[in-house]
Chain A
Amino acid sequence: MKDAHDGPILEIDELSISFFTRLREIPAVMDFSVRVMPGEAVGLVGESGCGKSTVALGVMQDLGKNGRIVGGSIKFKGQDLNTMSQDELREIRGSQIAMIYQEPMASLNPAMKIGKQLMEVPMIHADVSQKEAYDRALQVVTDVKLPDPKRILDSYPHQLSGGQQQRIVIAMALMAEPSLLILDEPTTALDVTVEAAVVELVKELGQKYGTSMLFISHNLGLVLETCDRICVMYSGEAVETGDIEDVFDQMRHPYTQALFRSIPLPGADKNARPLVAIPGNFPLPHERPPGCNFGPRCDYFEEGRCDAVERVPMETVPGDERHRSRCLRFKEIDWDAPPLNVSTKEKSEPGRVVLKMDELKKYYEVAANALFGGSGAKKVVKANETLSFEARESETLAIVGESGCGKSTFAKVLMGLETATDGAIVLDNREIQDIPIEARDTKTVADVQMVFQNPFDTLNPSMSVGRQIMRALEIFGEGKDDAERREKMLRLLDLVKLPREFADRMPRQLSGGQKQRVGIARAFAGGARIVVADEPVSALDVSVQAAVTDLLMEIQREQKTTLLFISHDLSIVRYLSDRVMVMYLGHVVELGTTEQVFAPPYHPYTEALLSAVPIADTHVEKKHIVLEGDIPSAMNPPSGCPFQTRCSWKQKVPGNLCETEVPPVRIMADGHQIKCHLADAEFDNMEPVIKIAAE
């Protein structure tokens, strides 16, 4: 069935795709060319809205009612997909080209058993019997390393975890051994350690089956780990293509450079080497500037030249046939020059202790049956287990961990949305753990505020931005009348660097980054002293993340705020935090200063986390640790050490200590504690996970 084909598997040539609305034609992809050779993995990188998913759907010829290919060709093994009939396309889809999607839960049919969904593929394309299809499904499920394949085939998607679901989606794509695999942000919805395992699997299977891959992602580090070639997209155009090393080390487009400068790589530091945010906003598809799309945000923009042409052509970089850039000036720019206008800042010293946790515990009781329970066994979910730490004035304490580790529960208890089961939260010598938010006085509420993860859901869509901030001011008892509060609100907008006109805008008119700024302004409305930032930038685009992070840091410097930064992204944590607390299943497994946590000795979980985070730097060498399995459910935690089911160091501990006893908290150095059974000698022999190779 697999015909021998030695040319490129996929050849996209000057592809243009537009969406048609009643008002106008909106070009989504313009003049896009890429070539995927057999066995090659090509990464497609860009921010949301840059057209990378549209390219994927264009290849699949599934653009919906409004989308149309308006120019160029897409050749798959030499055949033009644009001219194929629906029947011909259906034969190729699933058997020759397969796709893996962003959200595994949404892309599996909830009312169909996994086995049936998998077996469908060979039954359509290879016309095999039910029995053969079942055997094939069983084999592929084994290939994607799922435990107990028979049981998995007989379950519904909701009975599996996110990581397992994604493995099933991968298995489904591999059922017919396709020649080309399109992966559309395959790991964005997954936890870091699970992501690492899935990426590992995809790479391995790609080699095993000899599949070519088109890997779409916004994560540069991930692309570095998986792909041979890369194509950077900006606003519907490919701006730079080339081999991974060339593009990463010798970028020849200002956007690529700006992108790299805005992500926290090892070595970046919030005081000495801060991130450089890309100024301005991503242009909307119907508001693109004349000439170079990146022009208005580019440091090297030259008026009368960059905006004078109709469209900047793609040009080959001299000396490298496969490296191309879409920039008029790339031959003139000094690419090795350090970034302009970077201001280094004084490191602020942490002040007195403002917040203290003492053996804080939060348990939830889950009754088997809420209505007729009573006799039913009650389950206790230990969301937070003996949390003890201090946070000082103008200090950033990062709380790191994957989903289900209890970091959000802790935030809820601190905010007063839940009350603690045991232990104490001391704020200014006052215990507040038992006071729910309704009962807290205005001062306490204003003092402890939160910046939420998703700026899109946390603003009232029917209230203007200014009104919402003024409402917060009113609740916090700031200002005597509306006029005074309006004045204060405008000053808050200045603080978060939003233009004052934004006060009268509605949230829907704002971009994600701007909305998050409003969220920050609202949190600081009452002069908050402790701000819990729950993944404040993870829903934002890379270029915006840097700006929002910077803003938080700047406000912190001015107002001496204590920032509790909850995140799963270790790169950003390393960049901005003073101290780091690593949590796993409700336990604090490691706590120390950023330097202590990011250098050996590690807790085995911290080590795995560090190794799982993809880093977009070719000079970095990482130790490779892939955790087996999923995070255990908090409803049914493992006995003894919470991490023992996935720990790679477990056999180094004598006896079955790990399975029977919760490890004690051990002080490794001043202010550095680890919860582990490992012997001192083992800790001393640990090697650093991330090594920066000498240039």
Chain B
Amino acid sequence: MGMFILRRVGVMLLTALCLTFLVFYLTNLYPNLEKLAKTQGNFRMSDEAVASWLEKGGYLQPTPVKYAEWLGVVPSYRFEAEDGTVTGRCILPGMEASEAPRYCGILQGYWGWSTVFRDPVSEIISTRLALTGKLMLWVMLLMVPGALIIGVLAGMREGSPLDRSLSTFSITTTATPEYVSGVLFIAVFASSAVGLKWFKGTATSAMENATFENFFLPVLTIALYGMGYIARMTRASMAEVMTAQYIRTARLKGVSFPNIVLKHALRNALIAPFTVIMLQFPWLLNGVVIVETLFNYKGFGWTLVQAAGNNDIELLLGVSVVSVIVVLVTQLISDIGYVYLNPRISVT
């Protein structure tokens, strides 16, 4: 098992390198850089001025060199102006060149400087990720058990009225995009249109202090969408397991129906949906964009929109590094969990 994890981590690092290089290359294409120079300097810069600005920032080095600098495996680029002031990636505003470290990249914990928020990227990402993490945690806590219960209840007696109604429910929720359900919920539960006013239509205050009142609607909006999907998967897998011969064996052994479902069917039925559930994590990370915007909750998705919209290269890179790591880690967990659930799979 140890060897397996070690090997998987190795493969993961390799994948992470490839993916980040790809993102790095795409965000550092010349038109992007030109746009960056113009937003940072002024929009009427001449081509020469753009070139000198880029030269000064070290943007005109070959991409692999820039990537290595960004990673922190080669000394960072420095530019000495004619007046003797030294500028460079590592020299943060208000810092003397002599005090600044030679290396500054991901490996040193330096994620860059966000041009939009005018803050270090690492700081932005950590605060935003924490906010989205909070949202995701509650979504998962609502979505996964809910979906599994619905799926198992629907799948244990295929074709029964219970199955029909739960299936209809899950198809409806999956077929309703978040921007529709979100708007609906706000209209029904938070506005004077219906007059229920149980919850708040904005989650801005939940960033500081989340309560049921201000946080439930965004959580529900995301959870419902994913819930239908997982529930359908669980139902299909459960329905298949319930027709298996070993379930008949259990039935003819005299096991009661609740015990058949809980002891015999459940573990087997969870094998297939487990991968899907794990795949929901990366989806949530980026899928929250709409809901975070809708409920004005300034989390990771919102940051991503800001970074992409404003050509904030370093922030965008930071966001993609986090996404890549989240995807790879959940896949690792899903593989290990799969081995645990399914005794027929062995990693050795």
Q: Which A residues are within 8 Å of any B CB, using their own CB? A: 60, 62, 65, 90-95, 98-99, 101, 103, 106-112, 120-121, 124-125, 156, 158, 169, 172, 372
- Shortest Cβ gap from A612 to chain B (Å): 26
* Contact A110-B253, Cβ < 8 Å, known A62-B248, A103-B245: no
B343 within 8 A of A: yes
- Shortest Cβ gap from A261 to chain B (Å): 35
Do the beta carbons of B249 and A110 come within 8 Å of each other?
A: no
Which residues from chain A contact B344 at a C-beta distance below 8 Å? Answer: 110, 156, 158
Do the beta carbons of B268 and A95 come within 8 Å of each other?
A: no
Do the beta carbons of A111 and B343 come within 8 Å of each other?
A: yes
Do the beta carbons of B246 and A94 come within 8 Å of each other?
A: no
- Shortest Cβ gap from B173 to chain A (Å): 28
* Contact A90-B256, Cβ < 8 Å, known A111-B267, A111-B268, A156-B344: yes
- Shortest Cβ gap from B187 to chain A (Å): 43
C-alpha spacing A65/B271, complex, angstroms: 27
Q: Is the interface of A mostly helix, strand, loop or mixed?
A: mixed
Q: Which of A158, A172, A372 contacts B253 (CB 8 A)?
A: A172
C-alpha spacing A383/B55, complex, angstroms: 68
C-alpha spacing A644/B254, complex, angstroms: 43
Do the beta carbons of A90 and B7 come within 8 Å of each other?
A: no
Do the beta carbons of B264 and A107 come within 8 Å of each other?
A: no
5 contacting pairs across A/B (C-beta < 8 A): A108-B249, A109-B250, A124-B253, A124-B256, A156-B343
* Contact A109-B246, Cβ < 8 Å, known A156-B343, A158-B343: yes
B289 within 8 A of A: no
Q: Which of A60, A107, A121, A158 contacts B245 (CB 8 A)?
A: A107
- Shortest Cβ gap from A136 to chain B (Å): 14
Which residues from chain A contact B342 at a C-beta distance below 8 Å? Answer: 110-111
C-alpha spacing A107/B343, complex, angstroms: 16
Q: Would you give the 0/1 interface string for B262-281, flagging 1 where the beta carbon is closer than 8 Å to chain A?
A: 01100110010000000000
Do the beta carbons of A110 and B246 come within 8 Å of each other?
A: yes
Seed contacts A91-B254, A109-B268, A172-B253; 15 additional CB < 8 Å A-B pairs: A62-B252, A98-B253, A99-B252, A101-B249, A103-B245, A106-B245, A106-B246, A107-B248, A108-B249, A110-B342, A111-B268, A112-B267, A120-B250, A158-B344, A372-B7
Beta-carbon nearest neighbor of B158 in chain A: A65
Which residues from chain B contact A91 at a C-beta distance below 8 Å? Answer: 254
Q: Which of B245, B253, B263, B271 contacts A93 (CB 8 A)?
A: B253
Q: Which of A65, A94, A103 contacts B252 (CB 8 A)?
A: A94
Which residues from chain B contact A103 at a C-beta distance below 8 Å? Answer: 245
- Shortest Cβ gap from A403 to chain B (Å): 20
* Contact A93-B343, Cβ < 8 Å, known A103-B245, A106-B244, A106-B245: no
Q: Which of A62, A108, A111, A125 contacts B251 (CB 8 A)?
A: A62
Chain B stretch 112-138: residues in CB contact (< 8 A) with chain A: none
Do the beta carbons of B245 and A101 come within 8 Å of each other?
A: yes
Which residues from chain B contact A107 at a C-beta distance below 8 Å? Answer: 245-246, 248-249
Which residues from chain B contact A120 at a C-beta distance below 8 Å? Answer: 250, 253, 255, 263
Which residues from chain B contact A101 at a C-beta distance below 8 Å? Answer: 245, 248-249
Beta-carbon nearest neighbor of B246 in chain A: A109
Do the beta carbons of A109 and B264 come within 8 Å of each other?
A: yes
- Shortest Cβ gap from B1 to chain A (Å): 14
Do the beta carbons of B264 and A125 come within 8 Å of each other?
A: no
* Contact A124-B264, Cβ < 8 Å, known A108-B246, A372-B7: no
B325 within 8 A of A: no
C-alpha spacing A120/B341, complex, angstroms: 20
C-alpha spacing A91/B251, complex, angstroms: 11
Q: Would you give the 0/1 interface string for B304-348, flagging 1 where the beta carbon is closer than 8 Å to chain A?
A: 000000000000000000000000000000000000011110000
Which residues from chain A contact B244 at a C-beta distance below 8 Å? Answer: 106
Beta-carbon nearest neighbor of A371 in chain B: B7
Considering the complex of A and B, which 8 residue pairs feature the smallest CB-CB distances, nearest first?
A94-B254, A94-B253, A106-B245, A93-B254, A156-B343, A109-B246, A111-B267, A107-B249
C-alpha spacing A338/B45, complex, angstroms: 110
C-alpha spacing A107/B247, complex, angstroms: 8
- Shortest Cβ gap from A466 to chain B (Å): 36
Beta-carbon nearest neighbor of A93 in chain B: B254
C-alpha spacing A103/B246, complex, angstroms: 10
- Among B246, B250, B263, the one with the most A-chain Cβ atoms within 10 Å of its Cβ is B246
C-alpha spacing A98/B264, complex, angstroms: 18
C-alpha spacing A577/B116, complex, angstroms: 86
Q: Would you give the 0/1 interface string for B1-32, flagging 1 where the beta carbon is closer than 8 Å to chain A?
A: 00000010000000000000000000000000
Which residues from chain A contact B253 at a C-beta distance below 8 Å? Answer: 93-94, 98, 120-121, 124, 172
C-alpha spacing A372/B267, complex, angstroms: 31
Which residues from chain A contact B271 at a C-beta distance below 8 Å? Answer: 111
Which residues from chain A contact B255 at a C-beta distance below 8 Å? Answer: 90, 94, 120, 124
